[in-house]
Structure formats: structure tokens, C-alpha cells
Amino acid sequence: MVLAAVAQLKSTSVIADNLAASVSLIRSAALAGAKAIFLPEATDFIAPTAQVASLTRSQDNATFVQGIQSAAKEAAIWVSVGIHEPPSAQQDEKDSADNRGRLRCYNTQLLIDQTGAILDRYRKLHLFDVDIKGGLKILESDSTIKGNELLTPRQTPLVYRQRSDSVSFKLLTLFFFDPRVVAHSDIQPYKPTFCLADIVSLLRAKNSNLALDRITDKNLASSSASHCH
């Protein structure tokens, strides 16, 4: 049997504390025999919008990623972790000019292997923008830059052996909001090697005019999902 750990923690604006909590979870998962651990979106910090830009670009945040890499290597475990990722200097210049000095970041999920290497950086594609007239208004795009690509599922090495049998997996990193364009019932009939091409086919089958960077009420599925898939 192969074990994977799914962890939750209450991140704060103190990045060093969040790193310590994350490292403790990684070590506990490895000691329990897990080969991978999935940490949530924005594990590095949760803070008021006004602090996001400065915390994202802080040395503490760079140290957070390095600390997670070191913990993954030390425990020999795969780690998926959500962070605030600073964009390029060119993007910062553009944001500063377009948004009256306000800087944004990527909402990124890192996939780190058991050697501590970062294999994938998935930048959230479907930002949560809601503006109800006379009611709720949440615009994730005010502080977050939209990603521009779905990643190819990542093949893991063999993680389990028993007699002549061995097991490996393909991992596709998404965020909570992304998979809601496809219902679980749509995925279940597919072959065991369900992959990125199948996801794209399902999206197009649901709406031939659907742009992959847009979600409408018509496309929302009533399925539940976790932050990491």
C-alpha cells in the first residue's frame, strides 16, 4: 500500500512560524510512511491584501521555499505546497504602471520531489472574481496575476514494490476552483490513464465555445474538490 498525506494548517502573516509548522507536518508524514504530502494553497502566509506584495517579495518568503525543499530532501518525500510567487521585474514594472503602483503576485502550487528539486510550478489559472451588484465583491485579480498554462501530468518514480508488482503515479496540480469545470461523474468513466488531453476534451465537450481561461455558471459542476489533485 502507498500512503499519501493531505495536511491542513492555519497559516498567519508570520512566515517563519508557517515554515516551522509545515516542516513538522512533512516530517510527521514521512515518519508515518507517506511518500507524498499535499499542503494547502497559500501555506507560506495568509495576510491582509495590503501586506501581500511586500511579504511575497520578502527574504522570509524565499527562505520558506528553501526550507520546504530541504525538508523534502531530508525526509525523502514528495511535497506539493502553495505559495505566493513574485513575478518578473518586467511584470512588476507593468503592474506598477497599470495599477497605480500596486504590485501583484502569482498564486502558485509547487511540486517538489524527494531530492528537494522543484519539478513544477502551477500558477492558478481561474482566479476567483465575484462582483454581485449590491452584494459580495471579491476580486482575486486585484492582487493575483493569472497563470497561462495547464501543466502536463508528472510521472513519479516507482514508489511501491511487492514481489513482481510496482506502482507509480501521474500527478496533475490544480487548485480548488479549477476542476469544477468538469464533474467527477465525467471523469469516472475514463480510462485509468486519464490525462491532460482528456481534461481538455471534457472541457470542450461541455461547451464548444469555452475558453480554457474562463469559467461561467453554466460550466460549474456540483462536485467537491480539495486544494490539491
**Domains assigned to the chain:** 3-219 (3.60.110.10)
Q: What pLDDT score does 209 carry?
A: 45
Condensed to tens digits (0 to 9), the pLDDT of residues 175-190 reads 544 444 444 444 444 4
Percentage, residues of the chain above pLDDT 90: 47
Could you tell me if 90 and 98 are in contact, meaning their C-beta atoms sit under 8 angstroms apart?
no
Q: Which of 34-38, 68-72, 125-129 has the lowest mean pLDDT?
A: 125-129
| pLDDT at residue 225 is higher than 50 | no
Q: What pLDDT score does 90 carry?
A: 93
> pTM (2 decimals)?
0.71
Query: Which amino acid would we find at residue 103?
Result: L
Q: Mutual orientation of helices 49-56 and 59-75 as an angle, nearest 10°? A: 70
Q: What pLDDT score does 216 carry?
A: 35
Contacts of 13 (CB under 8 A, 6+ apart): 45, 46, 47, 48, 51, 55
Q: Which of 50-64, 70-84, 199-213 has the lowest mean pLDDT?
A: 199-213
* Region for residue 66 given its phi and psi (left: phi exceeds 0; alpha: psi -120 to 50; beta: otherwise): alpha
